[in-house]
Amino acid sequence: MSAKKDLPETSIIIDTGVLVELLENSELGKIFSKHFLENPQFERYYISPITDTELKYIFCRRNGYQEAKKIVSDFLKDFIICSESILRDDAFRLKCNFPISLADSYSLAVAIVLNIPLCMKKEKEILNNIEKLSSEVKMMFIDDYI
């Protein structure tokens, strides 16, 4: 496991599903904005490099390559994208030990490496493994704020 680096309580990791909700201005996106983006407690927002790629892919399917690249790149300009190389071993271990998506394993790896909470949507594969994952990662679910 990677060495943990303690960041202040002003930092959070955001998973792809939450960012999609935010970009779509959905009810969950508005809730996330209110409780996290507009909350002065949070100053730094981290994502995994897979989240960047996944967001671009999702919006590419809807808007085409150039438009998706512009939308997502502009949107993510204030987010900190963690280096993939420092996440690789934890992401691999999580993917190996849990039946979760590769993207989720990378978001969880950011939480482990930086020792800060991860905000995500409730997903069956995460909830099925919540007990063991919670022993390694502090997770917050945007669905709980409804």
The H helix count followed by the E strand count for the chain is 8, 5
Query: Which CATH code is given to the segment(s) 11-145?
Result: 3.40.50.1010
Q: 46-81: per-residue pLDDT in tens?
A: 999 999 999 999 999 999 999 999 999 999 999 999
Q: What is the pLDDT of residue 8?
A: 63
Can you tell me the mean pLDDT for 15-39? 95
In whole angstroms, give the CA distance from residue 66 to residue 34. 30
Q: 85-123: per-residue pLDDT in tens?
A: 999 999 999 999 999 999 999 999 999 999 999 999 999
Burial of 40 (0-12, 13-18, 19+ CB in 10 A): exposed
Q: What is the pTM of this model?
A: 0.90
